[in-house]
């Protein structure tokens, strides 16, 4: 099942620079997209989301962009901080009653001081 794909297993950036995490999906019926952050020994923590009717959502240092024609979304973190080092999961919600999340494989972000 490859409906949501994060093709970069890892990303390393310098503190203060921009981090860009990418996510591709195959199902055009996805209604809603979310980014979760996960630290070791913790569960995924909600970060930011976007509805399929929008192309951008911003919350502080975090911005998510959605390109529906390309079935692609990205998470921008500006400026990156060492505390942002974590695994980032992209997730999608299909248009179904249960609201289940379909996750990508995750990208491990390391922000170097």
Name the residues that contact another protein, by CB under 8 A.
32, 34, 36, 41-46, 49, 89, 93, 96-106
Minimum separation from the CB atom of position 79 to another protein (A)? 25
**DSSP notation for 27-43:** -TT--EEEEEEE-TTS-
**C-alpha angle 83-60-18 in degrees, rounded to nearest 5:** 60
Complex with another protein: residue 13 or 89, whichever CB lies closer: 89
Rounded to a whole number of angstroms, the minimum distance from the CB of residue 101 to another protein is: 6
* CB nearer another protein, residue 32 or residue 65: 32
């Amino acid at each position: 099942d490859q409906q949501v794909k994060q093709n970069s297993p890892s990303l390393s950036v310098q503190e203060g620079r921009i981090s860009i995490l990418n996510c591709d999906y195959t199902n055009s019926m996805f209604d809603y997209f979310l980014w979760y952050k996960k630290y070791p020994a913790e569960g995924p923590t909600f970060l930011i989301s976007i509805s399929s009717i929008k192309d951008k959502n911003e919350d502080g240092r975090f911005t998510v962009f959605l390109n529906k024609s390309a079935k692609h979304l990205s998470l921008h973190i500006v400026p990156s901080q060492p505390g942002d080092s974590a695994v980032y999961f992209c997730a999608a919600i299909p248009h179904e009653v249960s609201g289940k999340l379909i996750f990508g494989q995750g990208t491990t972000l390391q922000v170097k001081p």
